[in-house]
Amino acid sequence: MRKILSLMRKICEEENLILKGDKIAVGLSGGKDSLALLKALNEYRKFIFPYFDLIAITVDLTSGKTDFSPLKRYCENLGVEYEIVPSNVFEIVFDIRKEKNPCSLCANLRRGILNSKAKELGCNKVALGHHRDDLIETFILSLFFEGRLSTFKPKTYLSKTDLTVIRPLLYVEEKSIINISKDLPIVHNICPVDKKTERERAKTVLEYLEKNYPDCKEKLFSAIIHKERYNLF
């Protein structure tokens, strides 16, 4: 956790992700990344930057079919307010729309619900658990599957909702999160296309590149975040 906090502090200071008086909603899915994010932000406000408020929000995609009681206990132990927002996103995506490539629609619906609840609760920022590997994989996805150069930003202002989305884990490698995941109350992902998405294909591409070109991920990460290390037409 010390390494995660150090990298979080670095990106927060470089990008001014958190300011005094912020009320931040953490999108808590129940996966290792969002759980690690909530824990790190809670530690961050205790020991490093104690002038912001936290609330955790879970969007229930399954109309009450998922047990989120481990997340509720986790938030109680951390002393963080917790809200569950019921929805029928899975029903819309898989039963009504019968999407062949459901991830985009599911993500858009989920983000919309999360942002609406965050605004209702008086938050001005939403924190998501994307980490360094997500950053690189999204770049690969955009390059090979969309023909464009694009990935996450550490901070994005949403003018329609007057919310700022922040990603405080973008400098953190996934393996660092895996190392602390045994202590996290991970909720099993019941999505029928889990591990069968284009993102998994991007992971495979990266595994091949890393195997044949050592430090490939490090170089990709450096190329993405370095403001002068590009030369595009």
Task: Split the chain (233 residues) into runs of 10 and give each run's mean pLDDT.
Answer: 94 94 95 96 87 94 85 96 87 66 74 93 97 92 84 93 96 94 85 67 85 88 80 63
Q: How many C-beta neighbours within 10 Å does residue 159 have?
A: 6
Q: What is the CATH number of the domain that holds 169?
A: 3.40.50.620
Structural domains counted in the chain: 1
Tell me which residue range forms the domain holding 93.
2-225
Say if 230 falls within a structural domain.
no
Task: Give which of 193, 186, 192 is closest to 68, Cα–Cα.
Answer: 186
pTM of structure: 0.90
